[in-house]
Amino acid sequence: MKRITINTATPQPHKASIMVIYTGGTLGMSYNKQGVLAPFNFENIQKRIPELSRFDYEITVISFDEPLDSSNIEPQHWLSLAQIIEENYKQFDGFVILHGTDTMAYSASALSFLLENLAKPVIFTGAQLPIGEARNDARTNFITALEIAGTKDEKGNAIVPEVCIYFDYFLWRGNRARKVESRHFDAFSSQNYPHLAEVGIDIQYNTNVINSLPKKAFKVAKNMHSDVGLVKIFPGMSLNLLEKMLLDTSLKAIVLETYGSGNAPTDRKFLNILEKSIQKDIILLNISQCYGGMVMQGKYETSHHLAQIGVISGKDMTTEASVTKLMYLLGQDLSYKEIQSKLQISLCGEMS
C-alpha cells in the first residue's frame, strides 16, 4: 500500500483527520502524456484540487498497489478494506473510499455488515468522468465526500456514523443504494429509503433517517463466504437448468429475484426444486426484481406457496445488500436457523 499524508491545516491544528482509500476507478484517473487515462499521483492532489486547502484537514491517502477496475472486486477486497479501517480506526475521524461505480453498491453493502457498531463515517464515492476532463463530477464528489466524512456535531460526534455512498449532490445509505445510471452524473439512487443528506449551498442532513451512534464497541468481522447464487425468475426459464443450479451445487444460499411483491410460478416442478434445495439446507431468500417496493409473501397465491415451503422474505432489500448480507452471515459460524433468523431482521439499516 502506498501512503501519502497531506496536512491542509498547517500551521493551525486540523479540524479533522480523514483517511482516503483509493481502490481504483475513474475518479483517480487523469490523462498522461500519451493521452491515455491512468491513475494520477496523489502526492500532487492539492495541485489538482486546490480547494482542499480550505478544509483544515489532515488527509492521509493510501492506494492499492494495483488499482482495480471495480468489475474485478471480490470479497477478499472487502475484507482488506475492513481491515484497513480497523487498523486506522482510532487515528482518524472518518474514511473516504474512492471506488469504481459498477460494483460500488456491493462494496458499500459489504462494508456495512463487516464494520459492526460503526461510529464514524465511511463514505464511498467515485465519478463518471475523471478529474482530467474539463467538465467532470470527480472534483465535487471527492470534495463533498471529504467534507461529510469530517463533519461532527456540537459534541464532537460524527453526524453520519455509517457506510454511505455520496454521488451527485446526494448522500445515500450504502446498503440501500443502487447504480441506476451509466450515462448521467446521478448514477446512484435509493427507491426504498430516503437520502441521508442533500447538498446545495449547504449540506442538509436528514438526521431522523441516519443511524444512531452505536452503544457497543466497534468490531470488524473477519470472514465472508461467497457460496451464494443469484437467480432471476423470468417467463419460460428452463426448470432443468434451475434444478442443476439449485441441487447439483455446493452453494449454501441463493437469492431469488421474483416478480412484483415476491411472486413466482406455481408450477409444481418449480416448487419441488425449491423445496428440495431447502431440504438440503440451502437458504433461499426472496427479493423483488422491482426497483421500489418490497416482498410480501402470502399477499398473492403466487407467493403464498413460497412461504409455505420455507423461502425467506427479503422484504425491501436490494440485490447488492441481499448477496453481501448472506456472504457475511455465512462467514460468521452461525447455524442454519440463526442465519434464517438474522436474514429477517435489520442488522444495520438494510431493510425496513
CA distance 219 to 114: 8
How buried is residue 35: exposed, middle or buried, by Cβ count under 10 Å (0-12/13-18/19+)?
exposed
Q: How many Cβ atoms are within 10 Å of 114's Cβ, its own excluded?
A: 28
Q: How many Cβ atoms are within 10 Å of 221's Cβ, its own excluded?
A: 16
Residues 253 and 227 sit within 8 Å (Cβ to Cβ): yes
CA distance 157 to 104: 26
- As a whole number of Å, the end-to-end CA separation of the chain is 38
Q: Which of 8, 23, 26, 125 is catalytic?
A: 26
What are the Cα distances from residue 220, in Å, to 79, 94, 99? 9, 16, 20
* 2: phi then psi, degrees, rounded to nearest 5: -85, 140
Contacts of residue 70, Cβ cutoff 8 Å, sequence gap at least 6? 23, 24, 25, 99, 100, 101, 102, 103, 104, 107, 126
Which grid cell is 33? Answer: 502524456
CA distance 139 to 224: 34
* 71: phi then psi, degrees, rounded to nearest 5: -65, -20
Q: Does residue 207 carry a catalytic annotation? A: no
Which residues are identified as catalytic?
A: 26
